[in-house]
Amino acid sequence: DTAVSQTPKYLVTQMGNDKSIKCEQNLGHDTMYWYKQDSKKFLKIMFSYNNKELIINETVPNRFSPKSPDKAHLNLHINSLELGDSAVYFCASSQDGGDYEQYFGPGTRLTVT
Amino acid sequence: DQQVKQNSPSLSVQEGRISILNCDYTNSMFDYFLWYKKYPAEGPTFLISISSIKDKNEDGRFTVFLNKSAKHLSLHIVPSQPGDSAVYFCAASASGAGSYQLTFGKGTKLSVIP
């Protein structure tokens, strides 16, 4: 009965490959997010989607693209993976932006070799 | 440019005593603040929040204090329990700007010693 789930939990791949991380929430929330936790442990927002519209697009490389087939899903596609993309990626959701707490998935540890 | 700072990377507290975790922010547009708790290999879990219209919010053993003039907030855990051992992240948002972004601090690792 997981609220926010991500697959896979671990992903090891080679440079230059294209990969996707899936995220689903069963909370009925309106907004979903992707965060990156880098080697320095900072959690930084990458994208958020509200009712299928991209509302934040931080300065991430355009190799990263979020795709939301419906309100309950926000998948992250990464093209031409680079070593620097190695990190833990967290999906999150909230009832609304701003004042409502965000609920996080368990994270996907991506390792690019 | 760290807009949310947690200057103590770690904190050790004896079981039963008070744990005080501190957080400072620089962006005066922030008006909503949250604390998250994170265990290894898990996602952050929401703990408690406070709006800028308040200076204190309490939930069981957890109390968050906000000092807007000092741009400082703190999380008090009383009494501390071994299960509280985790990394605690402070986060802030500027809701009025239509932004949905949470800005996180770097985290403080709390160790509660039995």
Instruction: Report how many helices (DSSP H) and strands (DSSP E) chain B contains, helices first.
Output: 0, 11
Which pLDDT does position B2 carry in this prediction? 82
Test mutation, A29, A56, A101, chain B, max B CBs within 10 A: A101
Average pLDDT over chain B, rounded to whole?
Answer: 93
Task: Tell me the residues of chain A between 12 and 71 that have a Cβ less than 8 Å away from chain B.
Answer: 31, 33, 40-45, 48, 50, 55-56, 58
As a whole number of Å, the CA-based R_g of chain B is 14
- CA angle, residues A4, A27, A97, in degrees to nearest 5: 90
User: Of A40-54, B39-53, B59-73, where does mean pLDDT reach its minimum?
Assistant: A40-54
Assess whether pLDDT exceeds 80 at residue B19.
Answer: yes
Average pLDDT over chain A, rounded to whole?
Answer: 89
Residue B110: how many other CB atoms lie within 10 Å: 22
Which pLDDT does position B86 carry in this prediction? 97
Q: What is the secondary structure of B43-94 as a DSSP string?
A: --EEEEEEETT-SEEEETTEEEEEETTTTEEEEEESS--GGG-EEEEEEEE-
> What single-letter DSSP state applies at residue B16?
T
Mean pLDDT of B15-42: 95
Instruction: Return the SS3 of A8.
Output: coil
Task: Tell me the residues of chain A between 71 and 90 that have a Cβ less than 8 Å away from chain B.
Answer: 90
- Taking CB atoms and an 8 Å cutoff, what residues of chain A touch B102? 45, 102
The answer to whether the CB of B14 falls within 8 A of the CB of B78 is no
Which pLDDT does position B98 carry in this prediction? 55
Assess whether pLDDT exceeds 60 at residue B46.
Answer: yes
Mean pLDDT of B62-86: 97
- Distance CA(B109)–CA(B10), nearest Å, equals 4
* Residues 6+ away with beta carbon under 8 Å from A11: A19, A21, A108, A109, A110, A111
- Distance CA(B60)–CA(B78), nearest Å, equals 9
**8 Å CB contact of B49 and A4:** no
Which pLDDT does position B44 carry in this prediction? 94
Which pLDDT does position A47 carry in this prediction? 86
Residue A32 is inside which H or E element, if any? strand A31-37
More confident residue, B101 or B66: B66
Dihedral sign, CA of B77, B79, B80, B82? negative
User: Of A19-28, A29-38, B37-46, B95-104, where does mean pLDDT reach its minimum?
Assistant: B95-104
Which pLDDT does position A5 carry in this prediction? 96
